[in-house]
Structure 1
Amino acid sequence: MDKMHYARGLVRLSTQSAMAQGWSRAQMLRRVFRPRVLLYGAGLLAITVAMVTSLSVRVPLKVDVVRDRGTLSRIVAGGMVENIYRVQIGNATEVPQHYVLSAAGLDGLRVASDTAVALGAAEDRWVVIRLQAPYGAAAGGSHPVAIEVRAQADPAIQVAAPTTFLVPR
């Protein structure tokens, strides 16, 4: 301002109201730290913390299980009861991953189809899997089971998707 021969203070962090009323720096700070401004700041901070927390604890694997509508359950060779499912596996990481599928919930329950799935970065795919259990392992009806998908490279990345296993009566 001196170099251009202008009055000092033409460029400053202030408001027109503060300049017109001649407020001091302490009065300006008192005006900035009003309850409404503090509440808005606290709200913005809470939203930011919630977003960062949700991003840091998210599981980079998405799994969705859908029963095959064409076949409810059937008895196959070897005296096994078989149910067919379509599993959508989504890799939410930025690197290719290899996943292993397994099942739990009934005695003798096993995956009778291919258990290894390779997905590229940020890719998802539908996979058809067949679950088989011995015919006498459970009474007739619907039984809760879980299809588990686990990353080979990092066992901490795993998801267990609940579904039902039907045994004919």
Structure 2
Amino acid sequence: MIRKAKLPEIPEILELTRACGKEMASRGIYQWNEFYPSRTVLESDVDREELYILKDSEVLLGVIALTTIMDAEYEQVAWLTPNQDNLYVHRLAIAPNYQGQGYAQKLMTFAEDFARKGNFKSIRLDTFSQNPRNQKFYEQRGYSRLGNVYFPKQSAFPFYCYELVL
């Protein structure tokens, strides 16, 4: 079941995102670190009702943030659609023990359905340039790679921006 996250669930969500960060680091992908995603960021997502969780019974399988707020870093990207009526995906994470079982697909299908029902023009996101698995994931779903952005607190390497026109 996918539903909005609640503030009391933040410790469990933070545990999941930290486990994902460690799992990626074990594969040489230094995408998430002690600065990101932070408790403050996740709490803000919940306060704005933009953080969704995927649970099976009582097991937290994954999270995803869906927002209409465009990060300042995205302003210089040559997007395919005008900068209005866009949905942005952030912090997609699946618990390491449940990766490769289709749960990321479920969360992205949820995001895409949410965007279509909300009459958004496109979905935009970024993924780490050193994470080819994620790049393939989005490209297979029809997302177009457009440009690079940088998040210096996370990495010296760029993040690739993607957009799916709906």
The TM-score bracket by the shorter chain reads under 0.3
| More strand by percentage | 1
- What's the TM-score, normalizing by structure 1? 0.22
More helix by share: 2
Structure with higher Rg: it is: 1
Structure with larger RCO (C-alpha < 8 A, sep 6+):
2
Q: Please report the TM-score for the alignment, with normalisation by the length of structure 2.
A: 0.23
